[in-house]
Chain A
Amino acid sequence: MSNSSRVKTGPACDSPEAISLVRGALDKFNMDELMNCMHCGFCLPACPTYQQTGLESYSPRGRIALMKGVAQQQLAVDGEFEKNMFACLGCRACETACPAGVPYGSLIETAREVVADHKKETGRPPLVHRLVFKHLFPHPKRIKWLGNALWAAQASGLQKLADKTGLMRILPREMAEMQQAVAKVASPLARSKRAPVLKAEGETRLTIGLFTGCVMDVLFYETNQATARLLSKAGCDVVIIDNQACCGALHAHSGEMDGAIELAKRNIEAFEQAGVDFVVNNAGGCGAALKEYHHWFANDPHWTERAQAFVAKVRDANQLLAELPPLTFSKPLHARVTYQDSCHLAHGQGVRNQPRQLLRSIPGVEMIELKEADSCCGSAGIYNITNFDMSMQILDRKMERVKETQAHFIVTSNPGCLLQMKQGIIRAGLQGQMEAVHIMDLLDRALS
């Protein structure tokens, strides 16, 4: 045994056991950023998966250590490493907790990219990935088609039939539980009739481009419309451009950086042409990604500048509404309201006070602070499909807190969280007592 105390020691750390290292993995990881984690453990209490399991490998500190292990060729990029990297919600609560300022969000994205690259070298990625990331999200028309299909199923009562006949029972339980929570989808006719510009009420202060999002615009079309109405009421000309694309967040979180970058380019170009003052979104997850475009192009000087200009214009709807003159609400809402932070809005963008401030401004609202409001609900993009059991454990814990508030409305700022909270209400047996609602919809209800 070595006598020196300040060196790496230990029997097995340096053993050259069968390590299959991904080519370029070392280059992809930013060693300086990995080393900035001084493993103090301050992130552990903030991490929902650590709280759930008590296991170090389910903590941010643990995951960063594993990344270091891979980068230093002490660990293999194998199934276990993949499982651990994808067991992370990506909620980034650890970034808020981290005194050392470690950019965990980008580290986990790199780790997943390393996993994805490795899989591409060794074989085909899983079917769901290909289906969703290559053939669905990049194609707005296909998402709209899917929306139409969903609408048709709901409108025709097929869904009820599926429930009754037990068709749902042979679908994977993930899908079965999820579909109960899916919102009522807007009809294709309503969506095709949307006006491209909604003029400001009164004097025009700003011209904004509404980022409609891919899932958002299908499942929560009405929320987009409500957002447009609110912004117009607050003095904005709201432009809805047709050639915008999915933000690319889900691609980036899953290690599909090439796809993410492609989508980012399309959005940057589209909004450059539109010539708007701000690009406004109402989905915390999308917003955080839009605000990170310049990091995605870090190695591409040609695009960096354009990405920076785009990022400078991105605002969450809560953020912008809180800066504009206060809205006047004509319909008081006599209800207890609580707010569940969107992780990527709170931890990713630092927007915490604005939504609370907006909710308090609705006449009649009694705002109750939810305990652990900025702890993830377990939705986390497609996590509730890929890691269903963990997601539901985290959701059930969340719902205990939600129940304590005795609120009539649980308000969120992101479509994924909204779906998850709807599902949570069903799981907690709170139907009829509590409603999950997007903040823009609730504000809109009090408007007219």
Chain B
Amino acid sequence: MLDSALRKAFVAIVGDKWFLDTPNELYAYSYDATPLYQSLPDAVIIPGTVDEVSAILKLANQHKIPIITRGSGTNLAGGTIPVHGGMVLNMNRFQQIHEIDTKNLTATIGSGVITADLHQAVEAVGLFYPPDPGSMRISTVGGNLAQCAGGMRGLKYGVTKDYVMGLQYVLPSGEVLRCGGKNVKDVAGYDMTRLLVGSEGTLAVITEITVKLLPLPETKRTLVAYYSNLVDAARTVEEVIAAKIIPATMEFLDQGTMKVVDDFAKLGLPLEMKSMLLIEQDGPEQSVAEDIARIAEIAKQNGAARVEIARTAEEGAKLLAARRAALSALSRLRPTTILEDATVPRSRLAEMVEAIEQIARKYQVHICTFGHAGDGNLHPTCMTDERNHEELQNVEKAFEEIFHTAIRLGGTITGEHGVGMAKMNYLDLKVGQDGMELMKRIKAAFDPNHIMNPGKIFAHSERRRLVVKK
């Protein structure tokens, strides 16, 4: 709990209504979308202006109170768990779309704007903001930035970092700064914009964002291919790319995932099949039609048992929406659903899919795999029960081996969810000890008092360890 004088000072900044600290209120901000993590904050504060953010940070910094910046709390890495207590800084009042600049093709928005609202606003004027994480209907763009969220269009369009051009941000000291802007070319000094994207709330609080927009593709079309094994699907992905076609989306679902998704969305999928690819192409009408026809051909050549082309845009949208719900739908099977996002170069996809199957068998755990096959970003998801400690240990061991395998295949421990708490014990696998040290020095330059989202990205001990103890 904050002492009463300090509490009063924070209330004075935002007003009574936007300072929460009753037992239920604290409890409601003790979790995010990550399984197994929970910790109570000492207070929740919901500022409405940049000046308020600045005043809050200054005061928190003086008194060394942890600040956990939060959007809608949908991240999957434990990024917004107040593991050291402190104050949750909820940014969802920053929901203004300030400007859509149709000449420079940019949008400038508050960091609390809902991702899908940004999509809707720019698409209404014929423009396009590609990043589309699974939680886009409720996630905030600020949260997407903090984690550098990806989505299903990563293959063709890249991820959040590829669209952020400029920021307004507040340092723990209370200084309000800007970086980047609307210039396509801008090499004035270090690229602070790129540094802040994916910094997981450990450096500064982002208050305003300028993103790059594209012209909205003229049309899009969706194709589904079903396979009687896993490898043929992976091979199809490689062959499509080798044929120099870059689809907007290439999603992979295994049989287990197909079953739960179908249960939720009632799509009538052929559940006897072992895997499916969901492929979408966008662009000018004619070239989309050509690409889809070619892809269908390649899928059949690579052993697809069935290939179907969605008849209408609505049908395609329904399939993609169902795929977005895959993770949550998997939790129908068991009480606890743990998902990771190990990623490999596209050419190693088939190997990775097979390795995951083997690892699941070895540790006797139930893993379903789906993900963004086109960019090698898989989501092996383990269905378990957090009350069964023995099983949880096996889950941990299985994931550890999955991470090692990804690294061995030239991949990474996390493609799009971020390190947070869930993967901090594996970070050195990817960046090495020297890399960790440099990152810590950068962190200290921004946040010398270590108040910004403490307990994330960097494990306390530098040695990696098995994460579940007896």
Contact = CB atoms under 8 A, between A and B. Distances in A.
B239 interface: no
A237 to B, nearest CB: 35
B24 A9 contact: no
Contacts of A101: 263-264, 329, 332
A145 interface: no
B38 A57 contact: no
25 contacts: A1-B84, A1-B455, A1-B460, A3-B465, A6-B37, A6-B392, A11-B40, A36-B332, A38-B331, A40-B33, A41-B138, A42-B135, A42-B138, A44-B72, A54-B93, A56-B28, A56-B73, A59-B28, A65-B31, A74-B27, A76-B23, A98-B328, A99-B325, A100-B329, A100-B332
A323 interface: no
A141 B220 CA distance: 61
Nearest to B339: A38
A9 B92 CA distance: 26
A75 B40 contact: no
B335 A32 contact: yes
A36 B425 contact: no
Given A54-B93, A99-B328, A9 B83 contact: yes
B15 to A, nearest CB: 15
A45 B90 CA distance: 17
Interface of B: 20, 22-33, 35-40, 42, 46, 72-74, 78, 81-85, 90, 92-93, 114, 116, 135, 137-139, 263-264, 325-329, 331-332, 335-338, 385-386, 392, 396, 421-422, 424-425, 455, 459-461, 465, 467-469
A4 interface: yes
Contacts of B385: 35
User: Would you list the 7 A-B pairs with minimal beta carbon distance, nearest first?
Assistant: A10-B39, A99-B328, A99-B325, A35-B335, A12-B40, A56-B28, A57-B28
A330 B118 CA distance: 48
Nearest to B386: A35
A10 B38 contact: yes
Given A62-B28, A75-B24, A99-B328, A38 B33 contact: yes
Nearest to B75: A41
Given A69-B27, A99-B325, 19 more contacts: A4-B469, A5-B422, A6-B338, A10-B85, A11-B40, A13-B39, A32-B335, A36-B332, A41-B33, A41-B74, A54-B92, A65-B30, A66-B24, A75-B24, A98-B328, A99-B331, A99-B332, A101-B263, A101-B329
A80 interface: yes
A3 B396 CA distance: 14
A56 B29 contact: yes
A161 B455 CA distance: 68
Contacts of A36: 331-332, 335
A266 B110 CA distance: 56
A63 B25 CA distance: 10
A114 to B, nearest CB: 14
Nearest to A12: B40
Nearest to A54: B92
Nearest to B263: A101
A195 B133 CA distance: 59
A41 B31 CA distance: 11
B468 A65 contact: no
A74 B38 CA distance: 12
A81 interface: yes
Contacts of A45: 114, 116, 137-138
Interface in A22-59: 32, 35-36, 38-42, 44-45, 54-57, 59
- The dominant DSSP class at the B interface is loop
Contact of A39 (B32, B114, B468): B32
Contacts of B90: 54
A7 interface: yes
Given A10-B82, A10-B83, A57 B264 contact: no
A409 to B, nearest CB: 27
A99 B39 CA distance: 25
A441 B425 CA distance: 65
Nearest to B265: A99
B36 A7 contact: yes
A56 B325 CA distance: 21
A57 B332 contact: no
Given A4-B468, A100-B329, A40 B264 contact: no
Contacts of A74: 27
Contacts of A10: 30, 38-40, 81-83, 85
Interface in A92-119: 98-101
A405 interface: no
B35 to A, nearest CB: 6
A30 to B, nearest CB: 11
Contacts of A393: none
A8 B27 contact: no
Nearest to B261: A99
Interface residues of A, number: 41
A84 interface: yes
Nearest to A81: B24
B331 A9 contact: no
Contacts of B135: 40-42
A118 to B, nearest CB: 15
A41 B459 CA distance: 27
A6 B392 CA distance: 9
Contacts of B328: 38, 40, 42, 98-100
B332 to A, nearest CB: 5
Nearest to A8: B38
Interface string A66-98: 100100001110001100100000000000001
A74 B26 CA distance: 12
A315 to B, nearest CB: 21
Contact of B38 (A13, A54, A56, A84): A13
A76 to B, nearest CB: 7
A30 B139 CA distance: 29
Contacts of B33: 38-41
Nearest to B455: A1
Contact of B40 (A5, A13, A84, A99): A13
Contacts of A66: 24, 27-28
A195 B36 CA distance: 61
Contact of A3 (B25, B139, B327, B460): B460
A95 B41 CA distance: 29
A7 B81 CA distance: 12
Select the residue from B26, B30, B421, B425 with max chain A CB neighbours within 10 A: B30
A401 B371 CA distance: 37
Contact of A38 (B35, B421, B455): B35
A7 B83 contact: no
Nearest to A5: B467
A75 B338 CA distance: 26
A44 B138 contact: yes
A74 B93 CA distance: 29
A74 B25 CA distance: 13
Contacts of B329: 99-101
B24 A57 contact: yes
Given A57-B28, A98-B328, A100-B332, A41 B467 contact: no
B78 to A, nearest CB: 8
Nearest to A62: B28
